[in-house]
Amino acid sequence: MEYPEADSQPQPEPLDVVLPRGAPPDVVGPVVNGLSSSDYYFASYSHFGIHEEMIKDKTRTKTYMRAILDNRHVFDGKVVLDVGAGTGILSLFAARAGAAKVYAIECADIARQAREIVKANHFDHVVEVITGQIEEVQLPRDPQTGAEPLVDIIVSEWMGYFLFYESMLQSVLFARDRWLKPRDGHLFPDGATLYICGIEDASFRSEKFDFWENVYGFDFSCVKRLALTEPLVDYVDVDQIVTDTCPVLRLDLHRLQPQDLDWSAPFHITAERDDFVHAFVVFFDVHFGGCHRPLTLSTGPYASPTHWKQTVLYLDRALPLRTGERIEGTLACRRNAQNPRDLDIGISYRFRGSQMSAKKILRYQMH
- Catalytic amino acids? 157, 166
CA atoms within 13 Å, Cβ hemisphere of 161: 21
- Beta-bridged to residue 366, according to DSSP, are 343
Give, for 56, the enclosing helix (H) or strand (E).
Answer: helix 48-56
**Amino acid, single-letter form, for residue 224:** K
**What one-character DSSP code corresponds to residue 263?**
E
Write phi, then psi, for 138 (nearest 5 degrees): -125, 145
Q: Could you tell me the strand order of the sheet in which 79-83 lies?
A: 127-131, 101-106, 79-83, 153-156, 186-188
Answer whether 332's CB lies under 8 Å from 15's CB. yes
Q: Which ranges of 101-158 does DSSP label H, i.e. alpha helix?
A: 110-120
- Beta-bridged to residue 98, according to DSSP, are none
Question: What distance in Å separates the CA atoms of residue 155 and residue 188, rounded to the nearest whole number?
Answer: 5
**Dihedral class, residue 86 (left if φ above 0, else alpha if ψ from -120 to 50, else beta):** left
> 3-class SS at 287?
strand
Dihedral (CA of 48, 51, 57, 61) sign: negative
- Beta-bridged to residue 186, according to DSSP, are 153
Question: What distance in Å separates the CA atoms of residue 265 and residue 164, rounded to the nearest whole number?
Answer: 14
341: CB partners within 8 A, 6+ apart:
36, 38, 41, 165, 166, 167, 335
Full DSSP string of 26-64? TTT---PPPS--HHHHHHHTTSHHHHHHHHH-HHHHHHH
Q: Quick one: 158 exposed, middle or buried, by C-beta within 10 A (0-12, 13-18, 19+)?
A: buried
Answer whether 172's CB lies under 8 Å from 256's CB. no
Q: Could you tell me the strand order of the sheet in which 326-335 lies?
A: 263-270, 326-335, 343-352, 357-366
